[in-house]
Amino acid sequence: MARYVDIHPDNPQPRLLGQVVDALRDDQLIAYPTDSGYALGSRLGNRDGRDRILKIRGLDDRHHFTLVCKDFSQLGQLVHVDNAAFRAIRASTPGPYTFILPGTPEVPRRLLHPKKKTVGVRIPDHTVVQALLDLLGEPLLSSTLILPGETEPRTSGWDVKEELDHQVDLVVEAGDTPAEPTTVVDWSDGAPEVTRRGAGDPERFEA
């Protein structure tokens, strides 16, 4: 059964944050709230985490994983960002956007798209997630928690626990969570292409 950790959305308790980070460092899979619904998360070095996420979501190896970053400095270590992308991404983060970009050697090969060698990156605007990333000290391998046959992410921690009680190791609860996934912008070919319209305003990336 998954552990259920209820964290204050505005003033996260350090002791509870520590429990979640300890679970991640122990290569456990968590479900956690973001500024665009729930997501599944594991440590980048957790080899089973990637496969467990794919199985829960019913996805194949061509799925673009997202590396959830604390800030732009961390993001810049993981993907190649040209000047135009740099300015636009910097201006729209933190927020509910995911950007697809070519990965750097810092990203484990198994996490890159098998053909394009790209990966998703984002900086969430969420107090609890920022606190977790700060304590963890590294990005989080992540994927929006949209289950097979569904189109929107889960929004309630208790609902996630009931649904995935034996598929994840820990569920974080932190108050109300939006039901709209991130807007995805593919910048891997040098110009932005909106591939999913979501919570972030897509017009700023559309010609």
- CATH assignment of the domain containing 133: 3.90.870.10
Residue 207 and residue 192: Cα distance in Å, rounded? 9
207 pLDDT exceeds 70? no
Q: For a pLDDT cut of 70, what percent of the chain falls above it?
A: 100
For 155, other C-beta atoms within 10 Å of its C-beta total 17
**Predicted confidence band at 166 (pLDDT cuts at 50, 70, 90)?**
very high
Which residues lie below 8 Å from residue 122, measured CB to CB, with a gap of 6+? 66, 67, 68, 69, 93, 97, 98, 99, 182
**Predicted confidence band at 206 (pLDDT cuts at 50, 70, 90)?**
confident
Task: List beta partners, residue 142.
Answer: 41, 66
Mean pLDDT, the chain, integer: 95
Question: Do 173 and 6 meet the contact criterion of CB atoms below 8 Å apart?
Answer: yes
For 121, other C-beta atoms within 10 Å of its C-beta total 28
Q: For a pLDDT cut of 90, what percent of the chain falls above it?
A: 91
* Predicted local confidence at residue 109, as pLDDT: 93
Question: In the chain, how many domains are there?
Answer: 1
For 23, other C-beta atoms within 10 Å of its C-beta total 19
Alpha helices in 26-82 (DSSP H): 47-57, 72-76
Of 194, 192, 171, which is closest to residue 182 (Cα–Cα)?
Answer: 194
Record the pTM. 0.95
Residue 141 domain boundaries: 3-205
